[in-house]
Amino acid sequence: MGRFWGNGNVRKGPAIAGLLVAWLLTLGSEGANAQALPPGSTVVTIQQPATVPPPAGAAGSAQNLVSLQNAAQAARQASQVSMSAVQSQLQSIRDSIQACGPVSPIGLCGNRAITTGRPIGFAGEPTSDRLEKNPLYDGGFQDVLAYARTDSKSPPYKAPAAAPAAVARAPVWSVWGQGFGDWENRTGTANGIDIGRRTLTGGGLVGLDVTFSNFTSPSGALVLGVLGAGMRSTTHNADGSEARVDGPGTGFYAIYINGGFSTDATWKGDFLTVAPSTLPTSVGLSNYVTAWNIQQKLEWGPSWIEPTAGFTYTNSIWNAGGHARGFTDGYAWRVQAGLRAGTSWDAGGGVKLEPTVTALAYDDVKISGGTLAVALAPLAPTDQDKVFGLFNAKLNADYGYGLSAYVEGEVRGRTGVLGTAVRAGIRKSLQ
């Protein structure tokens, strides 16, 4: 090196060092800066991942990605929370219709003064009287014709009163509204990173439907309706970051009832804005949720039990901004099964109360995508193949004249997850 500096290259050393510094400063710069380099220089462009600018250090980057994964999962779960609220409303509609007498002219518990008899789902069968079964048996032919016997020893015969004709029931329109709140806390670690989060969700639903009574049978009914929704969810992650999810929704539903049997289907779309604090801008997410349930009521006096089963499918689609940040579209399948039970009594003043309890188990049997497509994604595990238990207690109140309301509380969870929910709703039939 002494020879190098001593051979007249003292001036060349700083020049070469200056070029080297200039080249290092141009790494990742724009093409305009590259033009300032001497001819023949090479510009190397280094781009950051499209997901998020990670914090300094590998651990910080992993935590940042976990926070974004939590935000994406919470956004999908917000739609599932809202769909659970819709399902609760449909349960109350079904219970109200099945609790009404079959002679009600509207098929609903409208004017209780004319609502008598057994519930619509369990209307009494015709009697086994021989005349009713076979009018020609045992000399009953003349009774059917309402002829008096000619023999003088027989008392005058009066023909039986004709059975009341079936009441024609016009379609009945109803409106309803519901408010709900949901709280969920999750704890756990993955690869040494705290993946815990706490999510608060609140929202409201409104709906309009029409009920067709005497549908396929005297104890049958069909309900068709549309709904509107709005919700807001806030997730607080263990690292102090937050994510806000909010937006409107809309959907439609159908309920079919025949005696104690019932089935219902719902479709709802939620159009959400997802705003994690770790991103400079928000992204858009559309969740399309489809649910279907089937159940059968078994009655003992005023009480009943109802086995139930169903599934929910959630399809999540990110907008262009979400895709640019590394979020991928995805879906989730959930299956559930359980038992409902209830009873009813008159509370006086024309009010009928019906408390119900529900015990369910549900499992997200398949979850695909919906979050970041990065190598660190497994740091935020999903709920796939993890069974949840749920218990719900509800009190329905029917005030007559088409007005009913309910309140309920719910607890659900598994290891590391605990959630609670409260809901209250009201429904009015337009008679």
Residues 18 and 70 in one domain: no
Question: Are the C-beta atoms of 205 and 33 separated by less than 8 Å?
Answer: no
Using only C-alpha atoms, the chain has a radius of gyration, in whole angstroms, of 34
Q: Where is pLDDT greater, at 64 or 347?
A: 347
| 3 state SS of 101 | coil
Residues 36 and 67 in one domain: no
pLDDT at 375: 56
Residues 37 and 68 in one domain: no
pLDDT at 376: 57
pLDDT at 373: 82
Residues 1 and 107 in one domain: no
What does each C-alpha distance from 7 to 2, 3, 10, 15, 362 come to in angstroms? 9, 6, 8, 15, 82
Domain range for 32 is 1-48
Contacts of 165 (CB under 8 A, 6+ apart): none
Residues 233 and 364 in one domain: yes
pLDDT at 171: 95
pLDDT at 205: 98
Residues 214 and 285 in one domain: yes
Average pLDDT of every residue of the chain: 79
Residues 39 and 90 in one domain: no
Residue 306 reports pLDDT greater than 70: yes
Report if residue 309 sits inside a domain: yes
| 3 state SS of 66 | helix
Report if residue 422 sits inside a domain: yes
Rounded Cα gap, residues 229 and 84, in angstroms: 12
| 3 state SS of 379 | helix
β 345-348/330-342 pair status = unpaired
Report if residue 149 sits inside a domain: no
For residue 164, report the phi and psi dihedrals to the nearest 5 degrees: -65, 140
What does each C-alpha distance from 426 to 171, 192, 321, 355, 404 come to in angstroms? 20, 47, 39, 15, 6
Residue 314: which CATH number? 2.40.128.130
Neighbours of 263 (CB within 10 A): 17
Q: Which amino acid is residue 316, in one-letter code?
A: S
pLDDT at 62: 77
Residues 285 and 343 in one domain: yes
Please choose, from the candidates 387, 404, 388, 384, the residue with its C-alpha nearest in 3D space to the C-alpha of residue 396.
Answer: 404
Q: What is the pTM of this model?
A: 0.75
Rounded Cα gap, residues 337 and 365, in angstroms: 13
Residues 184 and 211 in one domain: yes
CA 340 to chain centre: 18
Rounded Cα gap, residues 330 and 243, in angstroms: 19
Report if residue 273 sits inside a domain: yes
Residue whose entry in the numeric block shows the structure tokens 């005023």: 302
What is the per-residue pLDDT across 212-232, written as a single tens digit (0 to 9) for each?
A: 999 999 889 999 999 999 999
Residue 70 reports pLDDT greater than 70: yes
Rounded Cα gap, residues 114 and 112, in angstroms: 5
Mean pLDDT on 58-68? 72
Mean pLDDT on 173-197? 94
Residues 212 and 260 in one domain: yes
Residues 25 and 100 in one domain: no
Rounded Cα gap, residues 17 and 9, in angstroms: 13
- Looking at the structure of the chain, the number of domains it has is 2
Report if residue 106 sits inside a domain: yes
Residues 282 and 352 in one domain: yes
Residue 270 reports pLDDT greater than 70: yes
Residue 55 reports pLDDT greater than 50: no
Residue 44 reports pLDDT greater than 80: no
Report if residue 103 sits inside a domain: yes
Report if residue 397 sits inside a domain: yes
Report if residue 176 sits inside a domain: yes
Residue 54 reports pLDDT greater than 50: no
Residue 150 reports pLDDT greater than 80: no
Question: Which residues in 20-163 belong to E strands, given as ranges?
Answer: none
Q: Where is pLDDT greater, at 190 or 50?
A: 190
pLDDT at 378: 58
Mean pLDDT on 396-421? 96
